[in-house]
Amino acid sequence: MVALTAISTGELAMPFTGSCHCGAIRYTVDEDPPSKAVMCNCSICRRKAQLHHFTTPDRFTLETPRDAFETYRFNHHAIAHHHCRTCGCSPFAEGKTPQGEAMVEINLRCADEIDADALEISHFDGAKL
């Protein structure tokens, strides 16, 4: 059973969960499942075909030990791209926004019960950064 939590507006949020393929990395995001995603065309996102959702660290709970994943950084080393040591999936990343605030990126292709075909997709031209 998924717990309902109050958010700042006083409304109840239905948290969503996700994992890597083998389940060694599992997380809960304490907000409603998103209806929108960002698709980036940078070298890593294009190859991984990720659909991004961004949240704050206080809404993200890693349910498994951090030693279940390895981390890859490239370019400016601003984002820690995490991938499972066992199955190789990349369910989330951590970093900072362009404004310097901490953020967690959720790969919605690894989120449970999210229909990728139903998401409203916006495109980001990360290849030009």
Q: Six-digit token pair at 81? A: 């791209």
Render pLDDT for 52-69 as a digit per residue (tens, 0 to 9).
999 999 999 999 999 999
Question: What pTM did the predictor assign?
Answer: 0.85
Q: How far is it, in rounded angstroms, from Cα 83 to Cα 5?
A: 28
Instruction: Return the ∠ at Cα 38 (arms to 119 and 71), rounded to 5°.
Output: 120
Average per-residue pLDDT for the chain = 90
Q: Six-digit token pair at 8? A: 């700042």
CB burial of 46-55 (b: ≥16 within 10 Å; e: otherwise) equals eebebbbbeb
Q: What pLDDT is stored for residue 77 in this prediction? A: 83
The amino acid at 114? I
Check pLDDT > 50 for residue 46.
yes
Render pLDDT for 68-95 as a digit per residue (tens, 0 to 9).
999 999 877 889 999 999 999 999 999 9
The percent of residues above 70 in pLDDT, for the chain, comes to 91
Instruction: Return the ∠ at Cα 113 (arms to 66 and 59), rounded to 5°.
Output: 45
